[in-house]
């Protein structure tokens, strides 16, 4: 027997042991008996794994394992089963093998919440969840048991900011195709009479969400996969994944070897460990934490249509489940397990004894929200270990280390909501090489090796699960795993008052604040940037000051986190490679800078970068920070075989410190520190020179700033970085030089209508859609990747167009700000979404960049023209409130006291392709910029 949930605020067993009563095995996994080869024993011992096997496993599995399969899926949980099912749908069922170390779908039934919901922070995640829900419905309609019930989800808010986030999601729902409704507290209670309204401000109702039984859904996938020809072998463990020439070749298992073309790691909880079974190791950054589910005994009169309820600010959720309540939540700080890196390899060993002391805060919040639960009788509190990624997002895609090795893991307790969509997109990637969604925010290539460091994961994954229920504020930062990657000038920036953000593990100054910059010992304080509002941010005035310095005097900024690659060859092979990978013409004069996209076969941007031609056979590439792993994967995968042995590509990101000086006095400033003539005639815009600066030599200097302002980016060998920075800063005092952070340079580029990859550009955006057709050279001698798709789009017309919108009648002091993802309306009809937004300190208005489409009355997309864009009346909806907006199609010339002919002639985003020769006022410039410019 167990006490009721009330009493002392948490429930404890009144007799017997909850662990034993629940029928859950102890943590210690008994060693299975059987005849195992000594070599196998050594491998299995190394991975601390004892497979569930019969007394004579080799005889039992004899003949079951084929000698060859096109695809081998490791992991028979819900994600692996979904991948198998979708491969079967694609006609690959007879060539697909799924192996599972235990039993397929063997996860314990009380270790999942069963929510199939759409409430996700991004369009990509929402669409994957939406597909999963639709698939579960289809399986149910076909008579397969899934436990599906469409009960809706009720999401509660306790404060103004949470309600603002709900209103933002309600606005986005038009674009995302999600049906949802903002509720008053009283309406929340109508949907769920169990609720206490104490502290509730309102809610968000999503009627098409539902609940299901993940165990049944998994078995539905498995049965359908079998029907479609997929071979499934249980009690078979992976020992090793072999590769040859960088591609998957063969897998070793406890039941024999299988030759294969593709391997899919769907082992979930064990994905990181399975990643170590290949050479090179595939890094899957995941860490196990405790995660509790509370089950009551049956409650009389409990409505089976009780919605799935989430009280985000209380960090709890609950639902009706077969007549009782299933509840859980996400603690502010998760409790780590297996900190020595050794984890068990059976489902039962994943179950830990419940930790009431750790769970009590969630239990208290649950009893506050539903006081009647105090009278419920406890059945069990389970502690089912779950794994989380460092950024609390799913992990999927092709591994950077080995081609044709795919990963799907880190579903953060929401496996059933993710499973269908992940199965579909992985199948698309395997069979077609592309899929219907841009996946870069979930792609495994968003990580570096540092993210897989066990101690980093231990620190970060204490914090990550708690983010799951936190308000998704703009520019939100993690507090753990900091002070990791730092440029040599980091101490000077911290002393100057830098407040930091983190990108790819790199500490980057977001803005500078002179107040409270030292601790009680007088030492520079490490401070992490926080916005924590949807209105005017607390850093507004600091960024305004930095912005003015960059526009009127001199600003100095640290660009060191940018991705930097060197390409070189003995002959002209490097030119051939880059001509094939890039849509712009890279065969330009030595010393030129080319801004170019690397397109995929559909014409979308896989990368957006600048290339400086250092010599006839040597280029330097500068790309966004988040491209550091991704770009190398793309280049390696698409490098023609005849060039692989002849072209060298090196990631030199950590070899150079990048310092940008920008503003009208930047040329004079740099002239004082170098002997080289920096006049426009000798060192024009969009060119490169290697300079001596101060006492240092070998400084790669690019005459661009990525913001549209006059200035230079200096790529400095690390040993010279502090010297060059000191000389620049000292010499800049006479010009009232000022440090500038990421927020200020971001504001500059938004006003100048500069698009950035990962924010405005993605794998589905083409140059023709974003005013960059002039950077695509269709007539160059090599047929670059994506050329045919872009030619087709040029003939047919674009279906969306990149625009800049300036909001009218928006009061930046009191109105909610745009933060990206706001719907755009033309003549009252939804036509698109904003991408990057910010305050324009020169315009003195909110500035939104985004894409506009043209829909007919039936919702079909039509071609978008300049006339269509310019003839409409525009509004942008910000958290439910619409503001009128003025539209621009090309980069504006901002008013300035310091006109610069080169910059005024140059538009990053252009509304006419024939503007490509805007720099032709100088014959010398025409020569060096014939590659297209930024």
Q: What is the pLDDT of residue 702?
A: 98
721-773 pLDDT, tens per residue? Answer: 999 999 999 999 999 999 999 999 999 999 999 999 999 999 999 999 999 99
Question: CA–CA separation, 760 vs 835, rounded Å?
Answer: 5
- Average pLDDT on 433-439 reads 96
CB 609 within 8 A of CB 583: no
Q: What is the pLDDT of residue 196?
A: 97
Q: What is the pLDDT of residue 245?
A: 94
Sequence-ordered alpha helix ranges (H) in 648-707: 666-671
Q: What is the pLDDT of residue 868?
A: 96
Question: CA–CA separation, 749 vs 752, rounded Å?
Answer: 5
Q: Name the phi and psi angles at 561, rounded to 5.
A: -75, -15
Choose between 8 and 595: higher pLDDT. Answer: 595
CB 505 within 8 A of CB 480: no
Q: What is the pLDDT of residue 894?
A: 79
Pairing assessment for the beta strands 378-384 and 351-352 based on DSSP bridges = antiparallel
Q: Which residue spans within 433-578 are E strands per DSSP?
A: 498-503, 506-512, 555-558, 563-569
598-616 pLDDT, tens per residue? Answer: 999 999 999 999 999 999 9
CB 385 within 8 A of CB 269: yes
SS3 content of the chain, % helix, strand, coil (to 5): 30, 25, 45
Name the band, by pLDDT with cuts 50, 70 and 90, for residue 134: very high
Hey, what are 727's tokens?
């000389």
Q: What is the pLDDT of residue 343?
A: 72
Q: Topology of 798-905 in CATH?
A: Elongation Factor Tu (Ef-tu); domain 3 (2.40.30)
The rounded percent of the chain whose pLDDT value lies above 90 is 82
Domain ranges for the chain: 68-108+215-287+391-446, 489-545, 563-746, 798-905
443-477 pLDDT, tens per residue? Answer: 999 999 999 999 999 999 999 999 999 999 999 99
Closest CA to 295 of 393, 189, 378: 378
Q: Which CATH class is domain 563-746?
A: alpha beta
Q: What is the pLDDT of residue 738?
A: 98
Hey, what are 817's tokens?
């700000």
What is the DSSP secondary-structure string of 327-396?
EEE--SSPPB--TTS----STGGGEE---HHHHHHHHHHHHHH-GGGGGSBEEEEEEE-EEE-TTSS-EE
> Lowest mean pLDDT: which of 99-108, 700-709, 896-905?
896-905
Task: Given CATH 3.30.1490.100, say whether it is the number of domain 68-108+215-287+391-446.
Answer: no
What residues contact residue 138 under an 8 Å CB cut-off, 6+ apart?
none
Q: What is the pLDDT of residue 189?
A: 97
Q: What is the pLDDT of residue 605?
A: 98
Name the band, by pLDDT with cuts 50, 70 and 90, for residue 415: confident
The rounded percent of the chain whose pLDDT value lies above 70 is 88
- Average pLDDT on 12-22 reads 35
CB 59 within 8 A of CB 251: no
Question: CA–CA separation, 478 vs 506, rounded Å?
Answer: 12
808-831 pLDDT, tens per residue? Answer: 999 999 999 999 999 999 999 999
Name the band, by pLDDT with cuts 50, 70 and 90, for residue 256: very high
- Average pLDDT on 868-890 reads 96
CB 817 within 8 A of CB 846: yes
What is the pTM for the complete model shown? 0.92
Find tokens 């990631």 and name the residue.
651
Q: Name the phi and psi angles at 28, rounded to 5.
A: -75, 125
């Amino acid at each position: 027997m167990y006490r009721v949930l009330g009493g002392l605020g948490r429930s404890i067993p009144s007799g017997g042991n909850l662990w034993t009563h629940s029928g859950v095995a102890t943590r210690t996994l008994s060693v299975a008996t059987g005849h195992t080869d000594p070599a196998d024993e050594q491998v299995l011992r190394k991975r601390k794994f004892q497979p569930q096997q019969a007394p004579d496993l080799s005889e039992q599995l004899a003949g079951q394992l084929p000698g060859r399969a096109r695809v081998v899926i490791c992991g028979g949980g819900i994600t692996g089963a979904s991948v198998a099912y979708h491969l079967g749908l694609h006609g690959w069922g007879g060539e697909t093998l799924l192996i599972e170390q235990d039993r397929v779908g063997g996860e314990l039934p009380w270790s999942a919440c069963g929510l199939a919901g759409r409430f996700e922070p991004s369009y990509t995640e929402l669409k994957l969840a939406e597909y999963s829900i639709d698939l579960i419905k289809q399986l149910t309609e076909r008579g397969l048991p899934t436990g599906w019930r469409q009960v809706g989800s009720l999401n509660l808010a306790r404060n103004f900011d949470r309600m603002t986030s709900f209103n933002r999601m309600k606005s986005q729902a038009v674009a995302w195709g999600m049906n949802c409704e903002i509720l008053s507290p009283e309406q929340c209670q109508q949907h769920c009479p169990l609720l206490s309204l104490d502290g509730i401000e309102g809610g968000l109702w999503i009627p098409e969400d539902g609940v299901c039984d993940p165990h049944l859904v998994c078995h539905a996938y498995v049965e359908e996969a079998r029907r479609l020809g997929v071979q499934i072998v249980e009690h078979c463990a992976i020992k090793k994944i072999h590769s040859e020439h960088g591609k998957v070749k063969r897998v070793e298992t406890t039941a024999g070897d299988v030759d294969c073309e593709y391997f899919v790691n769907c082992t979930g909880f064990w994905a990181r460990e399975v990643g170590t079974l290949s050479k090179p190791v595939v890094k899957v950054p995941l860490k196990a934490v405790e995660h509790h589910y509370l089950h009551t005994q049956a409650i009389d009169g409990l409505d089976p249509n009780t919605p799935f309820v989430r009280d985000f600010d209380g960090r709890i959720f609950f639902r009706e489940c077969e007549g009782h309540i299933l509840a859980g939540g996400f603690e502010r700080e998760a409790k780590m397990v297996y900190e020595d890196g050794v984890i068990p390899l059976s489902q039962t060993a994943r179950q830990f004894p419940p930790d009431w002391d750790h769970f009590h805060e969630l239990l208290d919040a649950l009893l506050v929200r539903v006081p009647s639960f105090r009278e419920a009788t406890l059945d069990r509190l389970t502690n089912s270990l779950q794994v989380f990624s460092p950024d609390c997002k799913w992990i999927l895609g092709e591994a950077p280390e080995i081609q044709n090795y795919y990963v799907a893991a880190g579903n953060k307790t929401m496996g059933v909501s993710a499973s269908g969509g992940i199965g579909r997109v992985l199948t698309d990637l395997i069979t077609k090489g592309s899929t219907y969604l841009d996946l870069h925010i979930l792609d495994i290539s968003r990580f570096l090796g540092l993210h897989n460091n066990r101690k980093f994961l231990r620190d970060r994954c204490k914090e990550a699960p708690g983010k799951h229920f936190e308000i998704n504020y703009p520019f939100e930062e993690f507090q753990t795993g900091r002070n990791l990657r730092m440029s040599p000038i980091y101490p000077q920036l911290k002393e100057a008052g830098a407040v930091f953000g983190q990108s790819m593990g790199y500490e980057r100054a977001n803005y500078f604040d002179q107040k409270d910059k030292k601790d009680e010992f007088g030492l520079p304080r490490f401070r992490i940037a926080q916005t924590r509002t949807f209105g005017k941010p607390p850093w507004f005035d600091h960024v305004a000051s930095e912005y003015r310095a960059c526009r009127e005097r001199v600003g100095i900024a640290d660009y060191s986190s940018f991705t930097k690659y060197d390409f070189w060859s003995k002959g002209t092979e490097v030119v051939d490679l880059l001509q094939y990978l890039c849509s712009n013409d890279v065969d330009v004069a030595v010393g030129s800078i080319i801004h170019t996209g690397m397109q995929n076969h559909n014409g979308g941007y896989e990368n957006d970068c600048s290339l400086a031609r250092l010599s006839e056979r040597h280029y330097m590439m500068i790309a966004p920070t988040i491209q550091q792993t991704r770009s190398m994967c793309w280049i390696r995968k698409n490098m023609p075989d005849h060039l692989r042995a002849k072209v060298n590509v090196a990631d030199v990101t950590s070899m150079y410190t990048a310092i940008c000086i920008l503003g009208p006095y930047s040329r004079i400033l740099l002239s004082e520190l170098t002997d080289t003539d920096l006049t426009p005639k000798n060192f024009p815009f969009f060119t490169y020179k290697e300079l001596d600066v101060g006492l240092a030599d070998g400084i790669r200097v690019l005459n661009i700033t990525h913001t549209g302002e006059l200035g230079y980016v200096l790529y400095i060998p690390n040993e010279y970085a502090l010297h060059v920075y000191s000389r620049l800063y000292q010499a800049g005092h006479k010009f009232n030089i000022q440090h500038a952070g990421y927020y200020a340079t971001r504001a500059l580029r938004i006003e100048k209508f500069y698009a950035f990859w990962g924010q405005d550009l993605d794998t589905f955006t083409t140059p023709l859609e974003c005013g960059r057709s002039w950077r695509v050279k269709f007539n160059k001698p090599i047929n670059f990747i994506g050329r045919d798709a872009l030619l087709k789009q040029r003939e047919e017309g674009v279906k969306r167009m990149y625009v800049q919108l300036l909001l009218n009648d928006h009061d930046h002091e009191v109105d909610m700000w745009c933060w990206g993802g706001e719907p755009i309306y033309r003549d009252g009809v939804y036509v698109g979404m904003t991408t990057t937004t910010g305050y324009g300190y020169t315009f003195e208005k909110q500035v939104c960049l985004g894409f506009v489409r043209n829909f007919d009355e039936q919702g079909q997309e039509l071609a978008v023209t300049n006339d269509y864009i310019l003839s409409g009346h525009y509004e942008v909806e910000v958290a439910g409130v619409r503001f009128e907006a003025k539209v621009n199609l090309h980069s504006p010339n901002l008013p300035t006291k310091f006109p610069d002919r080169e910059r005024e002639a140059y538009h990053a985003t252009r509304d006419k392709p024939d503007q490509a020769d805007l720099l032709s006022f100088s014959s010398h410039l025409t020569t060096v910029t014939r590659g297209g410019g930024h």
